[in-house]
Chain A
Amino acid sequence: MQTRAGQVINPRSPTQRADSLFGFVLVLPALLALLVVIALPILKGIFVSFFSYKLKNISGSLFDFSRLPDVLSGKDDINSLLTLQWNDFANYTSLFKRGEILKYFGNTLEFVILTVGIQLILGMAIALLLNSRIRGCGLFRSIMLIPWTIPSVVVAILWRWMIHQDFGVINYVAYVMGFSEQLNVSWQVSNSLAMASIVMASVWRQLPYMMVMLLAGLQSVDSSLEEAAHIDGANGWKTFLNVILPSIRPVLITSTWIAVMNNFQMYTIIANMNGTGAATMTLSIAAYQEAFKSYNFGKGAAIGVMWLALLFIITLLSNKLNDRYANDYQ
């Protein structure tokens, strides 16, 4: 009578039934936390995104149940139960009318693709370098991880100091090395420089984590596969593409996925480096701005619902892609 994961269990045995009940009870606290902090707010967010939901509404409750008797007896319309005012999708139409939402999508995707793409390429390069029979690999790895431990707010302020218009050390170095024509460059004036600055700061903080993940993947690759490829006459690049990359596919996908999700959420570095500048107005900055600065909670929630929809599409696409490549390699 073993209870082993992966085995179909006959639910009639009393011990096993007790086991599965016990298993469920152990998960209960986690489920409860997720329900209270994630599920309820998401549902409420989707709901209020269809209404005019502003500062005066937030302290009250959504429904007025004292009217329930009237509604049941037919004196009142069912809508009178709601304390909120229906506004004919005004939250959504206002987002689309001026094309704001498309700009937010564009900025978010630009930020995510640049940040994740750069850290993926650099992280892979460093991981390959560290994986090539280097003495003191562990020491190098630990030292390189230090930027990852620096808090995001500190990262934002530090980088803002380094690109300071008048006394920034990066401006100075770029000028001395000849990359820049003028010394006092303001990174916030130009749209592409503003985006570049937040991408730089984010990559600096996240690159070490990506590198360590990929390195762990590389270290788990069976070296006999590489040797076999070498004997068959494959050069370094071919071995990398056809042997190493497929072997580390799970790590690659997991760490890319985590990075994409984290950068979609990115608020701290963007807000503290460029505030609410138009060039770096991503979905998270826009939603926070609408909700907690303009106190238009309904519109903020509407941005969130659009965001969820986008994530849903991306998830579907990546699952499709994933399936296709999984079939290719098997």
Chain B
Amino acid sequence: MNHPVSALPVGDGRWRWAGVLTLYILSGGLAFVGLRRIFFLSHRVPPEESVACIVLGVAFLLFSAGALYLARRLSNASKEKRGFAASRHATALSMRYGVLIALIALLLFPVLWMLISSLQSSHRLMSLPPQFALGSDSGFFNYQKIFAKPEYVRYFINSFITAGGTVLMVLFISIPAGFSFSRYRFRGRNAILTTILSVQMFPIVVILISLYTFYMKWDLLNRYMGVILADTTFALPLAITLMKSFFDTLPRSLDESARIDGAGRMRTLIRILLPLTLPGLVAVGIYTFLSAWDDYLMSMTIMQTNHMKTLPVGLAQSFLGEYAHDYGALMAFSMAGSLPIVLLFLFFQKYMISGLTAGAVKG
């Protein structure tokens, strides 16, 4: 520990990558500023200042080289202890984190932009260069404008009813089906399973054309039940696959001991197996809620009267009509429409991710 490099402030191996990364970024930034001064700005400034400009640029380049040296040195700090591979490790690790952080910034930027835009006044929105900062005239007025209208609140309620109803119905159908596919064999079982899985191939638009005429006859247009039925059917294939894979993970000895204790088949499912698949149920429920909340095509076709429209349809409609150029209000509406679902996801993300990937990994 009395080696000179250990005197560097960021000596701890666990966070060394962060120091290395900061130094690399600093070095890159300084090099950029320096080169810009030498090759670009020196032509723009008055001739008598151009020499000073170039000198300043060279100074920046020197600082950059210094930062680069420090980065290399810090990254090699453990060379004596763990050999050559370890010294490269800190640099590689810092690069990986750098790329990851940049990727996250890139992926989340649209969401951030939606949030910023929803808080801006139209004066600040319609300006170049785009305003990233909030000003004194920014605030929640766009949200107030949206929620002051009763029909927009109605869209939210409709979306909650259809998505919630779909979740209940999907669980009600997919639990027994998944249980059956996991535990019982009957004639046509594989054919039925294949059919259910191939459903997602069929073009929804085409199904809607005829479904619309059927719904007309059955009086299901403009009814929650109509959308719930359609949403349920399209969510079923994945829900059944997931439920089956969750039941597959439970040992059969559970069923048998329940049977020996005198429990019937239904009782075994409800009392013994269902509580154990609770994480799976949550995953299926949330996934279904997400896809039902996202549904646009089916609710647009089935819900024609204004007070039955769901959120995505209402949003698209106001985008084409009332708020066509009021992007602040549109972004506030979009933000409010995404927030419930993002919060739901963040809250249950642990179950969601394990549930989503469970089916796929098994193939």
Which residues on the A side are within 8 Å of B357 (C-beta)? 212-213, 216
Q: Which residues of B contact A59 (CB under 8 A)?
A: 213, 216-217
Q: Which residues of A contact B75 (CB under 8 A)?
A: none
Residue of B nearest to A132 (CB): B96
Mark interface residues in A5-25 (1 if CB within 8 Å of B CB, else 0).
101010000000001111110
> Is A38's beta carbon under 8 Å from chain B?
yes
Bound Cα distance A166, B327 (Å): 13
CB <8 Å contact, B203 and A284 = yes
Complex Cα spacing A255 to B103, Å = 22
* Known A149-B338, A167-B130, A287-B203; contact A255-B96, beta-carbon cutoff 8 A: no
Residues of B contacting A157 with CB < 8 Å?
315-316, 319, 330, 334
Partner of A307, one of B104, B130, B176, B203: B203
Measured between beta carbons, the chain A residues less than 8 angstroms from B172 are 29
Known interface pairs A42-B206, A142-B349, A261-B200. Does A37 touch B297 (Cβ–Cβ under 8 Å)?
Answer: no
**B240:A30 contact, CB within 8 angstroms:** yes
Q: Are B97 and A134 in contact (CB under 8 A)?
A: yes
Name the one of B110, B189, B330, B341 contacting A162, with C-beta atoms under 8 angstroms: B110
Determine the chain A residues whose CB is within 8 A of the CB of B330 once the complex forms.
157, 161
Task: Determine whether the beta carbon of A258 is less than 8 Å from that of B200.
Answer: yes
Question: 5 tightest CB-CB pairs across the interface, nearest first?
Answer: A23-B184, A304-B206, A250-B363, A216-B357, A20-B186
- Name the CB-closest residue of A to B129: A172
| B210 on interface, CB distance cutoff 8 Å | yes
Do the beta carbons of B337 and A42 come within 8 Å of each other? no
CB-CB under 8 A from A307, the residues of chain B are: 203, 206
Q: Is the CB of B349 within 8 A of A172?
A: no
Judge if A83 is at the interface, Cβ distance under 8 Å: no
Q: How far is the CB of A209 from chain B (nearest CB, A)?
A: 8
Check B167 for interface membership: any CB of A closer than 8 A.
no
A-B contact pairs, 11 of them (CB 8 A): A29-B172, A30-B236, A31-B192, A132-B96, A145-B345, A153-B313, A153-B337, A216-B361, A261-B200, A261-B201, A300-B209
Interface of A is mostly: helix
Q: Would you give the 0/1 interface string for A129-163, flagging 1 where the beta carbon is closer than 8 Å to chain B?
A: 11010100000111111110111111011110110
B233 contacts the other chain (CB 8 A): yes
B204 interface contact, C-beta 8 A: yes
A42 CB contact (under 8 Å) in B187, B202, B363: B202
Smallest CB–CB gap between B347 and chain A, Å?
Answer: 11
**Cβ A37 vs Cβ B229 within 8 A:** yes
Q: Is B185 an interface residue (CB 8 A)?
A: yes
- Chain A: minimal CB distance from B234 (Å): 8
* Contact segment of A74-82, A187-195, A265-273: A265-273
B216: nearest residue on chain A (CB-CB)? A59
For residue B267, CB closer than 8 A to chain A, the reply is no
> Given contacts A30-B196, A157-B319, A162-B113, is CB(A134)–CB(B107) below 8 Å?
no
Bound CA span A300–B180, Å: 38
Q: How many angstroms between the C-alpha atoms of A301 and B205 in the bound complex?
A: 9
Which listed residue, A34, A41, A152, A166, touches B211 by the CB 8 Å rule? Answer: A41
Collect the chain A residues with CB atoms within 8 Å of residue B305's CB: none
Chain A minimum-CB-distance residue to B265:
A22
Residue from the set A26, A167, A283, A288 with the largest chain B CB neighbour count within 10 Å? A26
The answer, yes or no, to whether B294 is at the interface (CB within 8 Å) is yes
B346/A167 in contact, CB under 8 A? no
Q: Which residues of A contact B76 (CB under 8 A)?
A: none
Please report the total number of A residues contacting B with Cβ < 8 Å. 101
Min CB–CB distance A141 → chain B (angstroms): 7
Q: Is A92 an interface residue (CB 8 A)?
A: no
Q: Is the CB of A204 within 8 A of B107?
A: yes
A177 within 8 A of B: no
Q: A270–B106 Cα gap in the complex (Å)?
A: 22
B252 part of interface (Cβ distance < 8 Å): yes
Contact for A287 among B206, B296, B316, CB less than 8 A: B206
Which chain A positions have C-beta within 8 A of B156? none
User: A147, B110: Cβ atoms under 8 Å?
Assistant: yes
Is A72's beta carbon under 8 Å from chain B? no
Whole-angstrom CA separation of A292 from B205 in the bound complex? 10
Interface range on chain B: under 10, 10 to 19, 20 to 34, or 35 or more? 35 or more
Q: Which residue of B lies closest to A304 (CB)?
A: B206
Interface contact A220-B361, CB-CB below 8 Å: yes
**Which segment, of B21-29, B120-128, B133-141, faces chain A?**
B120-128
Q: Are A30 and B173 in contact (CB under 8 A)?
A: yes
Contact partners of A284 in chain B: CB under 8 A: 203-205
A48 on the interface (CB 8 Å rule)?
A: yes
A33 in the interface (beta carbon within 8 A): yes
Q: Tell me whether A126 is interfacial, beta carbon within 8 Å.
A: yes
B174 within 8 A of A: yes
A187 to B: closest C-beta gap in Å: 15
B128 touches A183 (CB 8 A): yes
B353 CB-CB contact with A under 8 Å = yes
Residue A254 CB within 8 A of the other chain: yes
Task: Determine how close the nearest CB of chain A comes to the CB of B57; give it in whole angstroms.
Answer: 20
Assess whether B312 is in contact with A34, with CB atoms less than 8 Å apart. no
Is B203 a contact partner of A265 (Cβ separation < 8 A)? yes
Q: Which residue of A lies closest to B233 (CB)?
A: A37
Given contacts A27-B181, A288-B205, contact A58 B361 (CB under 8 A): no
Is the CB–CB distance between B186 and A38 below 8 Å?
A: no
Beyond the given pairs A23-B186, A38-B199, A204-B110, 7 more chain A to chain B contacts, judged by CB atoms under 8 angstroms and listed by A's residue number, are A26-B179, A140-B104, A146-B108, A150-B338, A151-B337, A152-B296, A265-B204
* Residue numbers in A under 8 Å from B177 (CB-CB): 26-27, 29-30
Indicate if the CB atoms of A141 and B128 lie closer than 8 Å. Answer: no
Interface contact B185-A9, CB-CB below 8 Å: yes
Binary interface profile of A, 311-325, with partner B (CB < 8 Å = 1, else 0)?
Answer: 100010000000000
B254 at the interface (CB under 8 A from A): no
Give A143's nearest chain B residue, CB to CB: B104
Q: Is B100 an interface residue (CB 8 A)?
A: yes
Q: Which residues of A contact B96 (CB under 8 A)?
A: 129, 132, 134
Q: Which residues of B contact A311 (CB under 8 A)?
A: 201, 203
Report if A40 contacts B (CB, 8 A).
yes
Query: Taking A37-B207, A164-B327, A272-B319 as contacts, is the C-beta distance between A212 and B130 under 8 angstroms?
Result: no
A305 vs B214: C-alpha distance in the bound complex, in angstroms? 19
User: In chain A, residues 166-206, which have Cβ atoms closer than 8 Å to a Cβ of chain B?
Assistant: 166-167, 169, 172, 176, 183, 204
